[in-house]
Chains A and B, each alone.
Chain A
Amino acid sequence: MVIFGTALLAACYLAGVIIGEGIAALIGVKANVGGVGIAMLLLIAAQHYLQKRGLFAVDTAKGVTFWAMMYIPVVVAMAATQNVIVAFKSGPIALLAAAGSFAICILFISLINRVIERAHIASAALEPVSDDHDPASDLSVAPDHR
């Protein structure tokens, strides 16, 4: 049943938040420490455990994936409730921070990918294909040299 998935998700969420509160109390931070991240790890672990034992029915999964797919709409609603006017007044911080971090990431991606290419850690470059080619057919046969 769909509700089992949503209930599992809710249980992981609550457990993660409680653990986050516990960590916060332990290290003396007046905020939840990583509760959402811990809840995600719990959900991954719980799902893996149930799948291995065949207890994670398709309907159960739907109760989780619906909420996963709702995250972009929720983020849109969240964006629509922010105090944007004040943010705009704070100047070019957003633009500079975004452009700067993007530039530094591109440099590091280029560096790492050149290194793994030289060290033959990376697979061979994919053959160029036409646009109407079905990408799914290539993924399973991609060579893995590692």
Chain B
Amino acid sequence: MLHMIEKTILDNPLITAFAFVGAVIWVSNQLAHHLTRGRVAGSAIAVLAGLALAYWGGAITGKAKGLADVAQFGGLALMGGAMMRDFTIVATASEVHVDEAKKAGWLGFLALVLGTVLPFIVGVGVAYAFGHRDPVTLTTIGAGAVTYIVGPITGAAIGASSDVIALSIATGVIKAILVMIFTPVFARFMRLNNPQAAMVFGGLAGTVSGVSAGLAATDRRLVPYGALVATFHTGFGCLLGPSILFLAVKALFG
């Protein structure tokens, strides 16, 4: 019986990965709902759980591909590989409507530029302060400070190693969680009480999960305004990260 289950799992790696990731996200959503009362988004907990599982996988196999090095979870390498990742990210652009995008206007664009460049500078600065000098590493960590999606996409595009990409994901995930938890706390300080302010917030704070969860905890009516600008954030970061920002870092430190 056990042997049959194991054979089925090993014969169908991608399908197993779908079922497994679904289970991880379900458990994460339950934890988010019951333990944090929805304050931390389930998706952020799921990503953290993924990183924890990768740590566990790496610890027991001693290899570099996290949980995917455990034979039963090999399908994760295909599901979470570069092809599927970039494909699904491009698909998220479908949620942006041109007419609504025009409403966000120059204010959203300004926030978007600042929200990409400022965290990037901070990320590069911190990495530099800790002794990193390689432009690829500096850029990947800086991009991770933009969002946990921009980090790995930029890192993959410019040829960063898996450990640097993991570090940039960790940076982005920690930032997303900070945004979720502390947005309601700093809402008054940020004057976060009208649609335009929410758009500025969406552009500057970045990460879609952080922005939507943070705004939901502040005032649900602000969510679409913030999320609208924030959905541009990943694409904008993915456009700038491996191109202008990488070239700038290369010119400065290369």
Looking at the assembled complex, report how far the CB atom of B119 sits from the nearest CB atom of chain A, in whole angstroms.
3
| Contacting residues, chain A, for B79 (C-beta < 8 A) | 73-74, 77
A80 and B73 in contact (CB under 8 A), knowing A85-B55, A105-B115?
yes
Residue pair A36, B80 in contact (C-beta under 8 Å): no
Tell me whether A126 is interfacial, beta carbon within 8 Å.
yes
Residue pair A9, B87 in contact (C-beta under 8 Å): yes
Residue pair A38, B46 in contact (C-beta under 8 Å): no
Q: Within the complex, which residue of A30, A40, A47, A97 is in contact with B171, where a contact is CB–CB below 8 Å?
A: A97
Looking at the assembled complex, report how far the CB atom of B46 sits from the nearest CB atom of chain A, in whole angstroms.
5
A117 and B191 in contact (CB under 8 A), knowing A48-B98, A76-B49?
yes
Residue pair A36, B118 in contact (C-beta under 8 Å): no
The chain B residue with its CB closest to the CB of A78 is B80
Tell me whether B53 is interfacial, beta carbon within 8 Å.
yes
Q: Within the complex, which residue of A74, A80, A125 is in contact with B194, where a contact is CB–CB below 8 Å?
A: A125
Interface-facing stretch out of B3-11, B30-38, B216-224: B216-224
A31 and B159 in contact (CB under 8 A), knowing A78-B152, A91-B130, A101-B123?
yes
Residue pair B243, A33 in contact (C-beta under 8 Å): yes
The chain B residue with its CB closest to the CB of A12 is B90
- Restricting to A82-106, which residues have a CB under 8 Å from any CB of B? 82-88, 90-91, 93-102, 104-106
| Contacting residues, chain B, for A102 (C-beta < 8 A) | 119, 175, 178-179, 182, 205
Tell me whether B109 is interfacial, beta carbon within 8 Å.
no
- Restricting to B199-244, which residues have a CB under 8 Å from any CB of A? 200-201, 204-206, 209, 219-224, 235-236, 238-240, 242-243
Q: Is the interface of A mostly helix, strand, loop or mixed?
A: helix
Residue pair B85, A78 in contact (C-beta under 8 Å): yes
B residues in contact (CB < 8 Å) with A: 17-18, 21-22, 24-25, 43, 46-55, 57-59, 64-68, 73, 76-77, 79-81, 84-96, 98, 105, 107, 110-111, 114-115, 118-119, 122-123, 125-127, 130, 141-142, 144-146, 148-149, 152-153, 157-159, 161-167, 169-175, 178-179, 182, 186, 189-197, 200-201, 204-206, 209, 219-224, 235-236, 238-240, 242-243, 246-247
